[in-house]
Amino acid sequence: MNPPRTDARRHHDPEVRGFASDNYAGAHPEVLAALALANGGHQVAYGEDAYTENLQQVIRSHFGPTAEAFPVFNGTGANVVALQAVTDRWGAVICAESAHINVDEGGAPERVGGIKLLTVPTPDGKLTPELIDREAYGWDDEHRAMPQVVSIAQSTELGTVYTPDEIRAICEHAHAHGMKVHVDGSRLANAAATLDVPLRTFTNAVGVDLLSLGGTKNGALFGEAVVVLDPDGIKHMKHLRKLSMQLASKMRFVSVQLEALLARDLWLRNARHANEMAQRLAEGVRAVHGVEILYPVQSNAVFARLPHGVSERLQKRFRFYFWDEAAGDVRWMCAYDTTEDDVDRFVAALKEEMAR
């Protein structure tokens, strides 16, 4: 069948990919096919549609019978909505200093969610019970925002991955202090691929209360979901999305994308591939003298330190970002559509620029 006619024109080269972000990738063709399936006819708006209803079954197949998904537009929105659901007006969230909610969300948790963040420096983006204790105190002190939630990212902003036991220890510690645990799972699929376990093994099974489940970096056009794993003590989710401008009227188009990813194994295929490309990249980079890999490569990111001038020259050939420009640290991200050839050409270019 011929594709439908359109007056739009292509404005980019679909063969050009870089290492700047998994958000630079397009949508997976299977997701686009699912969107076309969900098109046509009228469906009830704001989440009362057949696709959102079906998504609940898909989510329960991953996270068990008490799980409920609340689709949203983006990851910042998911985090802001989720954290509001588990904090009072006087509440605070303990997170890593490097957390996306702290450094990359434009202050939305504070300004939109009205939430105080209590941040802790970490060596590798991961919190531990000991690190949490630096901020977990003063529940009776009216001069201090009350720690009510611990938020961790899986995988972390630095590309590292918590083991299920590490998350269990965090949950037990947080719960013992009456705090809930939120996981920013913008790259939850990448963590599952690395750990090679089902999603529930390092979420519900170890005590996580709610999470932000990523779709965009995993091959969706856009769309994520807050997943409440255990509704006990989690209030007002129904109202929080609209209040936070995250309630999609045509929600079927968010839900069907998540269904396309999660109903079978597309989420895992995509995440595994992105992770494998990061491993290939790390292997290639390790063979280049003078380039240091900064953190264990456990998902789809490689962080490296190299001479500033080399990075600048390389950036003229491939897109990527400095992570800490003063230190010469860069971040290279792989996506579900990164090819072996992309990686090999990048490593060859790196070698050339290092030798100049």
Ligand X SMILES: Cc1ncc(COP(=O)(O)O)c(C=O)c1O
Interacting residue ranges for ligand X, rule: CB under 6 A: 74-76, 100, 153, 157, 184, 186, 216
The CA-atom distances, in angstroms, between 56 and each of 39, 203, 290, 335 are: 19, 17, 50, 27
Q: Least distance to ligand X from the beta carbon of 156, Å?
A: 7
Q: What's the first-to-final CA gap in the chain, in angstroms?
A: 51
Q: Please, which residue, 74 or 298, has the CB nearer to ligand X?
A: 74
Q: Please, which residue, 84 or 216, has the CB nearer to ligand X?
A: 216
Q: Please, which residue, 184 or 209, has the CB nearer to ligand X?
A: 184
Residue 271 CA to its chain's centroid (Å): 12
Q: Least distance to ligand X from the beta carbon of 307, Å?
A: 27
Residue 90 CA to its chain's centroid (Å): 27
Q: Which residue is nearest to ligand X (CB)?
A: 75
Residue 261 CA to its chain's centroid (Å): 14
Q: Least distance to ligand X from the beta carbon of 216, Å?
A: 6
Q: Please, which residue, 184 or 353, has the CB nearer to ligand X?
A: 184
Q: How far apart are CA 88 and CA 146, in angstroms?
A: 9
Q: Please, which residue, 211 or 343, has the CB nearer to ligand X?
A: 211
Q: Least distance to ligand X from the beta carbon of 100, Å?
A: 4
Q: Please, which residue, 94 or 350, has the CB nearer to ligand X?
A: 94
Q: Least distance to ligand X from the beta carbon of 95, Å?
A: 11
The CA-atom distances, in angstroms, between 215 and each of 28, 72, 218, 257 are: 11, 10, 5, 8
State the pairing for strand pair 146-153/91-96: parallel
Count of CB atoms situated within 10 Å of the CB of 302: 27
Q: Least distance to ligand X from the beta carbon of 157, Å?
A: 5
**Strand blocks (E) in the chain:** 68-72, 91-96, 116-120, 146-153, 180-185, 210-213, 224-228, 292-293, 301-305, 321-324, 329-333
